[in-house]
Amino acid sequence: MTTGRIFDLQRFSVHDGPGIRTTVFLKGCPLRCRWCQNPEGLERDISLWHFQNLCGRSGHCETVCPTKAITLAPTGVEINHAACTLCGDCIEACPRNALAMDGRDITTDEVVAEVSKDSIFHDVSGGGVTFSGGEPLAQAAFVRDTAAALKTRGLPTTLESSFHAPWSSIEPLLPLIDLFIVDLKVADPAAHRVATGVSNELILANLRRLDEALRGTGRILVRVPLVPRYTATTENLRAIAGLIADINPLLPVELMNFNPLASAKYRRMGMAHEFADVATSYSPAEMAQFQLLFAERGLAVR
């Protein structure tokens, strides 16, 4: 039995592949995209979190903590993460569920059991299961075993990934994953490193190999996140369109509009976020302009 680490398991997901899906968000990511929407998925390690808006200041957490890692301060509950052993006593003791771990370990069988609860909805919608994250390929063995178990039950699977992973972790998934969603962010390798912490060479090589392996099957979707300053520039998008057209002009492309909502999440988690000043998504007119850059290269884009 394989165990994986997730930060969420979402029923009724409707934007991560066809139909109604159950999305498994795997915890831990080798990239550090400056715009990351799910910062709780970055670290592989599990942390204890406190939700100020739910806190009733009972002080039970401080009382029960065996390592004195929690302090009820005038401004809120302070957690000394270095001292926290993740025993969970404080979570149990909190009457308002204001404390929680930001992830949990789960077995393949447990994922299958959870997914099966919505089998009727998967069935009627042509939906299934999506592995997302974080970076699902960072837990490739878990994804492989879970996808295999789902496959034997006839459930369609989708993988949504940066594809920054060794090909050896991707290849075993070829017969197990029905739809590969590949994120392409920045065309220039150096700029990619600035934006995400890694170069894009491995990602592009993987896309090329994936396309060779699956050409003509319609099992690949390229997604481009639109991020002010980093990805949503005419120059970058034109270059990405060129890269895709060069690999295979028949690859479908989907542009993901910028989502300004993550900045509040960063604030709540006490993390800096450089997009705090951007409050809006791109307008339909701007989106059309961006799409045109791909259409000009003969790509099917939406």
Partner 1 sequence: MTLVVRPFSEQVAASAQTQPTPRISALKERMLDEPRFLSIEQALIITDVYQAHEGESAAVKRALSLAEAMRRIEIHVDPDELIVGNRTTGVRAGVVFPEAGISWIDRELDAMSTRPQDKFNVRPEDAATFRERILPYWQGKTLEDTLRAEDGPLLDAITRVVKINQKDHAQGHICPDTAKWIRLGPAGIRAEAAAQAATATPDQREFYNSVLIVLDAAMDFMRRYADLASEMATAADSPERAANLRETARICTKLSLGGAETFHEAVQALWFLFALLHLESNASSFSPGRADQYLYPYYRGDIEAGRLDRAGALELVEALWLKFNQIVYLRNSHSASFFAGFPIGFNVALGGRDEAGRDESNDLSFLFLEAQGHILLPQPNLSARLHEHTPDALLDECTRVVGLGSGMPQVFNDESIIPALEAQGIAPADAVNYAIVGCVELTTHGNTLGWSDAAMFNLVKALELAMNDGKCLITGAQLGPKTGYLTDFAAFEDLEKAFAVQINYFFEKMIDACEKVEEIHQRLLPSALLSSVIDDCLDRGMDVTRGGAHYNLSGIQVIQVANVADSLAAVKKLVFDDGTVDKARLVAALQTNYQTDEELRQILLNKAPKYGNDVVWVDEIGNKWVHYFAGLFEGRTNYRGGRYHTGLYTVSAHVPMGANVGATPDGRQAQAPLADGGMSAVYGRDRHGPTALLASVARVDSYLGSNGTLLNMKFLPRLFKSVEGAKAFSSMLRGFVRLRINHVQFNVVTREDLIAAQKDPDKYRNLTIRVAGYTAYFTELAEDLQNEIIARTSYEDS
Residues that bind partner 1 (CB under 8 A): 8, 10-16, 19-20, 23, 25, 37-38, 51, 53-54, 56, 58, 95-97, 117-118, 120-121, 123-127, 132, 160, 259-265, 267-268, 279-281
Question: Residue 168 Cβ, how far from partner 1 at the closest point, in Å?
Answer: 26
Return the number of the residue (75 or 280) whose C-beta is nearest partner 1.
280
Question: Residue 129 Cβ, how far from partner 1 at the closest point, in Å?
Answer: 13
Question: Residue 121 Cβ, how far from partner 1 at the closest point, in Å?
Answer: 4
Return the number of the residue (15 or 285) whose C-beta is nearest partner 1.
15
Residue 248 contacts by C-beta under 8 Å, 6 or more apart in sequence? 211, 215
Return the number of the residue (85 or 97) whose C-beta is nearest partner 1.
97
Q: Which bin fits 183, alpha (ψ -120 to 50), beta or left (φ > 0)?
A: beta
What's the burial of 278, exposed, middle or buried (CB within 10 Å: 0-12/13-18/19+)? middle
Question: Residue 120 Cβ, how far from partner 1 at the closest point, in Å?
Answer: 5
How far CA 171 is from CA of 81, 152, 165, 174, in Å, comes to: 38, 19, 11, 5
Return the number of the residue (2 or 58) whose C-beta is nearest partner 1.
58
Question: Residue 143 Cβ, how far from partner 1 at the closest point, in Å?
Answer: 16
How far CA 25 is from CA of 40, 67, 102, 159, 269, in Å, comes to: 10, 30, 11, 11, 18
> If you write DSSP's letter for every residue of 15-44 in order, what string do you get?
SSSSSSEEEEEE---S---TT-S-GGGT-S
Q: Using an 8 Å Cβ cutoff, are 282 and 276 in contact?
A: no
Across 154-285, the runs of DSSP E, i.e. the strands, are: 157-161, 179-183, 220-225, 253-256
What is the number of other CB atoms lying within 10 angstroms of the CB of residue 165?
18
Return the number of the residue (113 or 194) whose C-beta is nearest partner 1.
113
Beta bridge partners of 226: none
Question: Residue 117 Cβ, how far from partner 1 at the closest point, in Å?
Answer: 6
Question: Residue 118 Cβ, how far from partner 1 at the closest point, in Å?
Answer: 5
Q: Using an 8 Å Cβ cutoff, are 292 and 60 in contact?
A: no
Q: Using an 8 Å Cβ cutoff, are 245 and 204 in contact?
A: no
